[in-house]
Amino acid sequence: MKEPIIKLENVWRTYQLGKTQVHALRGLSLEILPGAFVAIMGSSGSGKSTLLNIVGCLDTPSQGKVFLKNKDISLMTESQLAQFRGRILGFIFQEFNLLTNLSAVENVMLPMIFQGIPLRERRQKAEDLLISVDLQDRISHEPGELSGGQRQRVAIARAFANDPEVIIADEPTGNLDSSTGRKIMEMLVNFHQKDGKTVVVVTHDPKIAGYAEQIINIEDGKIISDRQTNR
């Protein structure tokens, strides 16, 4: 039996809004196995974005434990966690989150700086990644010169910069038309199948969830269903 790459044990996430306590996650437990393609679904306010931040080690639980590769993240300092997260996890965001004053290749090189990869190696790998997402003729373009689909492909290339074991995608097609969104999801499926990457996609769209092998539905901060698909 494979050990889970990400494991949550009885996780609560509570926010204080004035005098009111809001429980975004309520005693949630979850295991994600290496090589899985998981979709987390839920309506607005269901807790899926909070769950994504916890799974991605961008936030810590109010109660409960989170393990990344069997390591308890609560025992790490901020800098240790940032280094560890930078090696293991790659992120794709709905808003692309590219730096507008940097070219496509410079945006992809950025995560490698924090892992201490030499400049020449950074540039070569960034160019190779951009070629792999069919952007060989846009390497020197800035985000403002690219379409939404092209910007998301730069974001995918950047997510793979440090060869992470897990890709976490937050509504990756939310700002794209359906045809471009389909191409983006096919790229993620291809990376998953070719390289055996673990992929976690948060979405409210059943069509996007349909690309996954496992669909987890969340409501009011709790998992209400967890099923395998026929994909």
132, 157 in Cβ contact below 8 A? yes
Q: How far is the CA of 122 from the CAs of 64, 108, 111, 118, 158, in angstroms?
A: 38, 9, 9, 6, 11
Using CB atoms within 10 Å of the CB of residue 27, give its burial: 0 to 12 exposed, 13 to 18 middle, 19+ buried: middle
Report the pLDDT value the prediction gives residue 176, as an integer from 0 to 100.
84
Amino acid sitting at position 55: V
What dotted CATH number matches 6-228?
3.40.50.300
From first to last of its 231 residues, what are the pLDDT tens digits of the chain?
Answer: 789 999 999 999 999 888 999 999 999 999 999 999 999 999 888 999 899 999 898 888 999 999 999 999 888 888 888 888 888 999 998 888 899 999 999 999 999 998 889 999 999 999 999 998 999 999 999 999 999 999 999 999 999 999 999 999 998 888 888 888 888 898 889 889 888 899 999 998 899 999 999 999 999 999 999 998 876
**163 contacts: CB under 8 Å, gap ≥ 6:** none
- pLDDT on residue 61: 92
